[in-house]
Structure 1
Amino acid sequence: MIRTLTTATAAAFLATAAFAQEAAVTDPAAFAEKAAVSNMFEIQSSQLALEKGVEGEVADFAQRMVDDHTAAGDRMKAAAQSAGVEVPTAMDEEHQSKLDSLQSAEGADFTTAYVDAQVQGHEKAVELFDSFAKAGEEGPLKSFATETLPVLKEHEQEIKSIASQ
């Protein structure tokens, strides 16, 4: 039992350390790529939530995600262009797979999966934006990350509140 617990604890530590190392992005092009892909997932999964008819505070949250992340995406594209950085126009395989999985869910299963995906996505986004705001290369993308971080933290707190109900 102790060996299993120790192994599980070690695995969790290594996963956390690997995530923290991965999240410490300082290159503007790498930041723009990760941020754009995450942003596209937030928008498309939230549009899907609205299409599938989520209700109440989940619907309100989904609409806010579409609105806020569309605006943030436009600001990021302008910052990236100013920095001479390309922004991807399609999601990576990981995010597309998550979206595909959501598309096949229905009803309460969909709502649960959507909320879980939003919690995970916003935790990763906050970590990405926080690390880049602190350690990223000076320029328009670092300014964008710094300005956007408080809104992402609000999103994270809001979806965690919804998830805890």
Structure 2
Amino acid sequence: MKKLSLIAMMAIAALSFQSCGGSKDSKEVADSVNAVKDTSTMAAKDTAGVTGAKGIAVDEGDAKFATGAANAGLAEVAAGTLASEKATNPKVKAFGAMMVTDHTKANEELMAIAKTKNITLPNEPDADHQKMKADLAAKSGADFDKAYVDAMVSGHKKVESLFEDASKNCKDADLKAFAAKTLPTIKSHLAEIEAIQKGMK
């Protein structure tokens, strides 16, 4: 019965997404779905034969951290791929390749956690990050390098703040541990891209 209601709810979410004329991006859709579905650990498993067992639902703020982290990770991979192909500065090119490797790994870890919690994650970056990627793709040479580096400094400051907060305040132990484990890598990325930015001035 629970599976049937989940399928019906997802169909409604899909229809409402279409009726908005596609104005909602992947992150907004994921947040909407998570707001109305059972994110308990039991819901992610086949509950047949389990009597009276109900997991603790994931806190709404924790689910939003998961979608925000996934959104940022997807954006880093997309922009990093672009930088590893288009950058003229070897340090910028190498940083882009590192973003693809590190954020793909973190995204996979987060997806595995989200699956056990029945949390829906976005499958592509949100509209703001899609625009950033399109703007970057239109640039070349030193202009591309500068725009990418500036975007990475700004983006990593926001992501550092997101993960810092989650590492202290997430109620879900697995998401809190993921945030705490990933935070040093984000801090290291920020320090490296700030050093590259300084060297370009």
TM-score by length of 2: 0.67
Counterpart position of 2:92: 58
Q: Is the deviation greater in 86-95 or in 154-163?
A: 86-95
2:71 matches 1:37: yes
CA contact (8 A) 1:33 1:87 kept: yes
Counterpart position of 2:127: 93
Deviation by residue 1:4-38 (Cα, 9 ceiling, x = unmatched):
xxxxxxxxxxxxxxxxxxxxx97121011111111
2:182 matches 1:148: yes
**CA 1:41/1:54 → structure 2, altered by over 3 Å: closer, same or farther?**
farther
Deviation by residue 1:128-153 (Cα, 9 ceiling, x = unmatched):
00001111112211111111001100
**CA 1:26/1:132 → structure 2, altered by over 3 Å: closer, same or farther?**
farther
CA contact (8 A) 1:26 1:135 kept: no
2:78 matches 1:49: no
TM-score by length of 1: 0.81
Distance in 1, Cα, partners of 2:63 & 2:172: 12
How many residues align structurally? 141
Q: Which structure dedicates a bigger proportion of its chain to helix?
A: 1
Counterparts in 2 of 1:1-165, with a 5 A limit? 27-165=61-199
Distance in 2, Cα, partners of 1:113 & 1:58: 11
**CA 1:82/1:133 → structure 2, altered by over 3 Å: closer, same or farther?**
same
Distance in 2, Cα, partners of 1:135 & 1:95: 26
CA contact (8 A) 1:115 1:159 kept: yes
Distance in 2, Cα, partners of 1:56 & 1:104: 20
Higher-RCO chain (CA-CA 8 Å, sequence separation at least 6): 1
Counterpart position of 2:44: none
CA contact (8 A) 1:26 1:132 kept: no
Distance in 1, Cα, partners of 2:87 & 2:183: 29
Q: Is the deviation greater in 113-122 or in 52-61?
A: 52-61
Distance in 2, Cα, partners of 1:53 & 1:164: 17
Q: CA deviation at 1:111?
A: 0.3
Identity of paired residues, percent?
Answer: 38
RMSD, matched Cα = 1.5
Distance in 2, Cα, partners of 1:95 & 1:89: 13
Q: CA deviation at 1:54?
A: 3.1
Q: CA deviation at 1:53?
A: 4.1
Distance in 1, Cα, partners of 2:117 & 2:177: 11
Deviation by residue 1:93-120 (Cα, 9 ceiling, x = unmatched):
1111111111111110000000001001
Superposition misfits of 4+ residues, deviation over 2 angstroms: none
